[in-house]
Structure 1
Amino acid sequence: MNPALIDFADPRAPQAPRLRSAFGAPRQILAARSHDEVRPVLDAVEAAARAGLWCLGWLAYEAAPAFDAAMRVHAAQGDLAWFAVYDAPAPWPQDGAQEMAAARITWSAGLARSAFDAALEQIHAHIAAGRCYQVNFTAPMFGQLEGDARALFAALRRAQPGGYAAHIDAGDGRQVLSVSPELFFDWRAAPDGSGAILTRPMKGTAARGAGAAEDAARERQLRESPKERAENVMIVDLLRNDLSRIAQPGSVRVPRLLQTQALATVWQMTSDVQADTRAGTRLADVFAALFPCGSVTGAPKIEAMRIIHALEGGPRGVYCGALGLVQPDPQCGAGAVAATFNVPIRTLQLQGRRVRCDVGSGIVWDAQPQAEWREWAAKRAFAERASAPFELLETLALHDGRHRHLPQHLARLQRSAAHFGYPCDAQSLTDCLEGIARAHPTGLWRTRLLLDVQGRARAEAFALAATPVPVLLALAPRPFAFASSEFVRHKTTRREHYAAFAPEPDSGVFDTLLYNDDGEVTETTFGNVAALLDGRWITPPEGCGLLPGVGRAVLLREGRLREGVLRLADVPRVQEWAFVNSLRGWLPARLQR
């Protein structure tokens, strides 16, 4: 078994030091295999923490009937509750070699779009019939892990920093790697059960924007969206009602409503719901009142769970359950405890080398399938980012010892480093490029500047031959499903999605013209595109899903290009085409008919 790791924010003081600890061999394992055993396990966990011990573990979503038999779930595959009991935490490991080791996941196809649309249609029918207001629909995707689970956890923490992260190895090949940003509850309780409880449901999502302006616009749209606000308020009302079951009369309150939070790949909307618990409240009572969190069921909870049971083909497991730490709280006196649990979204479940990642969203009456499908893609991005190591990349033209558009390339690389959390020292980048320039003082070269996750820069150069023009472009045979990916908006060595559209060798085709799911032209596999339409040269805007190339930016700034959406229906009217990038410049092109 790997030592357990926990990296939790302080939910009541986000700027306070994080709880970052390791846990060695447990003194005891407390596990429940049946619903009758769940409450006794929670009672034992609470007793251990009140006696000064530390308990780290989880409840599966399928534990819900232990608290209310009306909650419908699938049969569990494994423990309903699992906690390891420790004497005390140990320091976070200092050896970073394992954290920087390679871990790769090869994913298989998840839920088909047709099945997704059919499920949403059924949910809308249930809402129309008055059965529910919101249903949280989810589905898994599966993959195979190559490498070390601890290295994968490190990659996940880089991909989804902050929040409430934990790596728990339950033995027998079972591991849970959670980097959830969502707080389920934080309960600070005196020995008699009285205390303060905070819940922070997360409902309402928008993908991050490509640049600062687009990012700010998307945050504003989320904050002002009637649909997203309603989705969040529904769950706030549900949690207010749930908390009232254990709260002192009149103590339930909502001090923060509809706050936006920036995560690595998405904007999320959260609200705080607080209460003071009554004397006599036990940890099992807290779970009985709140579990599962309304943000992963829908409203009303019982009916939403029945619909989920009918729609989803199997158990969720730890995903959408609860994962956290119950520890002694000496600041509140002997016998006091602090229990902090996340909602295990952004969570991988491992069984040996098999990896499971689930994603879902709350479906309300005005939810649109295309928008929800894109939200799922944005939520999956944390796993895709962590699925394989990659370097940041800039490709520059080196002509007679000077790099073309050097400041613009360095600025773009630094923006990407900030986005992915890679250390980036401007001087080391400059030193690499100066070394390449000195080694190649004459001729035309293609320089590749790379930056790895540890902030190490390297550069390499290759001879660059002139490109015969006009170049031939071929229209992609299908939409480019990755148009919204961060691995499109930022240039990296992760290029499998582009490689799938690369022209066949010896076909005479220079590059492939891509378009998104909405039928909007985006770019080619290694450059931007320009089109002469209605007497104006236009290039697709970043919002269509493309890499904002340096050559493109120069032409826009000079006024030689304007941004404009180019749809497939417009393609027959295009008078001229051009391929554009910083390396090759402006290349006249023609589109294969």
Structure 2
Amino acid sequence: MRQIEPYVLEALPSAPPGAPPNCVPRLVEHDRLQWWADAADDPATLLEDFLTRHDLPVRDLTRPGAHPAHPAPGTVCGAAVFVSAAAGARMAGAPIGPASPAPAVPDLVAVVYRHHDHPTRPTPPGRPHPSTPGWQLGPWTESWTPRQHADAVRQARHAIAAGDIYQVNLVGHGSAAYTGNPLPALRRLTRLPGARYGGILTGTDWAIGCASPETLIEVTGGAIHTRPIKGTRPATGPGRRELLESAKERAEHIMIVDLERNDLARIAHTGTVRVDQLYTIRRWSDLWQAESTISATPAAGHGLADLLRAVCPGGSVTGAPKLAALTRIAALEPVGRGASMGGLGWIGPDRLDLGLTIRTAAADPDRIHVWAGGGITWGSDPAAEVAEAAAKTRPVRAALAGQPRR
């Protein structure tokens, strides 16, 4: 069994979700929280309590702290945080679904970093990582066939016709055996164009690499923002026009915007929720995608736990109504979402910024795992949905394999 080198925060950009860029060379890991979804604890409370013990002001979103310009050695800078879709479902009071195909990866991670004048990397627990000069990725094995995926889309459409749900996101999974060190492959993934949240987080025998363009939740300057992405086409001229003109994609997108508005309203000061941008077309790698920006002012007394319970899992990867969609997801998807469809980012004294873990891969000691899917409405065509999921995962798999971008 390989040991994936732990205690690394790398490839995060100088902008969020990474640590303050001037601090990065001086950071060392100070403490770590890891939690799996089969534990009894409430993950939202667990995370808030853990960060509070390390003097991060997460009890009240309206009372942030400040990051000093010249932090003293030993002071806490912030924490890299990962929240899985299963942890989010637990926070929402919904079924967490089938088991993760990568059980080594925790469902909640918080790694607190402090400043140090002469940082040194701690000795990893267990035996050291072996020398792995070569990298080879084996063939991909899918958790469902295209036909099974299409059948799940049909079942989702039946549930919509029955009025059980209005929309649901279905996610598939693939994995491949590997030899060598997975971290360089995950670094390639983080550098895909448009990776607003590009980063790697590792632990003993696991690693997560993310190249997400989507903001799950950001709190900074006294405001909360979420930026759902819904609607995808190839990054061509006709693809952009088709996405702009698609009534189906626009209706699906607006439904999620309404869901996110309602989510933020649970923790917002009355009357402050607004849509700042609606259905803006942006490019990620070789795809066009539609994005909106929703903002709100937090109400006094709401902390990190309340925020996570309100927004997790993200509406763009669940559906509406959220609880009913999560119940349907748990019944239709063959394996758990693992590291995907959750949140990854940074929580510091002055800001919180978590990206939605789409375009995400996870490595366990033996295999690389990826996930991709899309939103299903009554107007969805099963074959088109299967093709869309394949298009979304293609650049991720190519980056992991070391194939040049086209």
Normalised by the length of structure 1, the TM-score is 0.57
Alignment of 1:250-265 (within 5 A): 250-265=271-286
**How far apart are residue 369 of structure 1 and its match?**
1.7
Gaps of 5+ in 1: 92-100, 190-194, 209-214, 330-337, 392-419, 421-485, 487-593
Between stretches 369-378 and 145-154, larger displacement belongs to 145-154
**How far apart are residue 153 of structure 1 and its match?**
2.2
Residue number in structure 2 paired with 1:267:
288
- Retained in 2: the 8 A contact 1:23–1:86? no
CA offset digits 1:289-322 (Å, max 9, x no partner): 1110001101110111111010012321221111
Residue number in structure 1 paired with 2:168:
135
Distance 1:123 1:143, change over 3 A: same
Between stretches 283-292 and 150-159, larger displacement belongs to 150-159
- The counterpart of 1:29, out of the listed 28, 32, 57, is 32
Residue number in structure 2 paired with 1:306:
327
Residue number in structure 2 paired with 1:198:
225
Work out the CA distance in 1 between the residues paired with 2:115 and 2:237. 43
Residue number in structure 2 paired with 1:53:
77
Work out the CA distance in 2 between the residues paired with 1:20 and 1:80. 27
Work out the CA distance in 2 between the residues paired with 1:303 and 1:32. 25
- Retained in 2: the 8 A contact 1:134–1:231? yes
Instruction: Give the 3-state SS of the residue equivalent to 2:361 in structure 1.
Output: strand
- Retained in 1: the 8 A contact 2:187–2:209? no
Instruction: Give the 3-state SS of the residue equivalent to 1:366 in structure 2.
Output: coil
Residue number in structure 1 paired with 2:9:
4
- The counterpart of 2:187, out of the listed 145, 151, 154, is 154
Instruction: Give the 3-state SS of the residue equivalent to 1:7 in structure 2.
Output: coil
Work out the CA distance in 2 between the residues paired with 1:128 and 1:244. 28
Kindly provide the amino acid, as one letter, of the partner of residue 49 in structure 2: D
Identity of aligned residues (%): 31
Distance 1:187 1:35, change over 3 A: farther
- Retained in 1: the 8 A contact 2:79–2:111? yes
2:86 matches 1:62: yes
Work out the CA distance in 2 between the residues paired with 1:269 and 1:204. 5
Instruction: Give the 3-state SS of the residue equivalent to 1:254 in structure 2.
Output: strand
Larger Rg: 1
Instruction: Give the 3-state SS of the residue equivalent to 1:148 in structure 2.
Output: coil
Kindly provide the amino acid, as one letter, of the partner of residue 36 in structure 1: D
- Retained in 1: the 8 A contact 2:16–2:345? no
Residue number in structure 2 paired with 1:388:
401
Distance 1:107 1:161, change over 3 A: farther
Kindly provide the amino acid, as one letter, of the partner of residue 87 in structure 1: R
Alignment of 1:284-323 (within 5 A): 284-323=305-344
Residue number in structure 2 paired with 1:118:
151
2:107 matches 1:107: no
**How far apart are residue 203 of structure 1 and its match?**
0.6
- Retained in 1: the 8 A contact 2:186–2:208? no
Work out the CA distance in 2 between the residues paired with 1:384 and 1:75. 23
**How far apart are residue 120 of structure 1 and its match?**
0.9
CA offset digits 1:92-126 (Å, max 9, x no partner): xxxxxxxxx86442232312111011111101100
Work out the CA distance in 1 between the residues paired with 2:330 and 2:51. 29
Larger RCO, structure (CA 8 Å, separation 6 or more): 2
Instruction: Give the 3-state SS of the residue equivalent to 1:145 in structure 2.
Output: strand
2:373 matches 1:360: yes
- Retained in 1: the 8 A contact 2:185–2:402? no
Alignment of 1:358-437 (within 5 A): 358-390=371-403, 420=405
Work out the CA distance in 2 between the residues paired with 1:203 and 1:90. 44
Alignment of 1:547-566 (within 5 A): none
Work out the CA distance in 1 between the residues paired with 2:184 and 2:26. 17
Work out the CA distance in 2 between the residues paired with 1:19 and 1:207. 37
Kindly provide the amino acid, as one letter, of the partner of residue 382 in structure 1: P
- Retained in 1: the 8 A contact 2:27–2:114? no
Work out the CA distance in 1 between the residues paired with 2:246 and 2:322. 24
**How far apart are residue 274 of structure 1 and its match?**
0.3
Distance 1:303 1:280, change over 3 A: same
Instruction: Give the 3-state SS of the residue equivalent to 2:41 in structure 1.
Output: helix
Instruction: Give the 3-state SS of the residue equivalent to 1:370 in structure 2.
Output: helix
Work out the CA distance in 1 between the residues paired with 2:47 and 2:389. 34
**How far apart are residue 366 of structure 1 and its match?**
0.7
Residue number in structure 2 paired with 1:276:
297
- Retained in 1: the 8 A contact 2:267–2:310? yes
Instruction: Give the 3-state SS of the residue equivalent to 2:109 in structure 1.
Output: strand
Kindly provide the amino acid, as one letter, of the partner of residue 112 in structure 1: T
Distance 1:36 1:237, change over 3 A: same
2:209 matches 1:185: no
Instruction: Give the 3-state SS of the residue equivalent to 1:384 in structure 2.
Output: helix
Residue number in structure 1 paired with 2:47:
41
Alignment of 1:174-253 (within 5 A): 174-188=206-220, 195-208=222-235, 215-253=236-274
Kindly provide the amino acid, as one letter, of the partner of residue 122 in structure 1: Q
Residue number in structure 2 paired with 1:482:
none
Kindly provide the amino acid, as one letter, of the partner of residue 137 in structure 1: L
2:364 matches 1:351: yes
Work out the CA distance in 2 between the residues paired with 1:371 and 1:264. 20
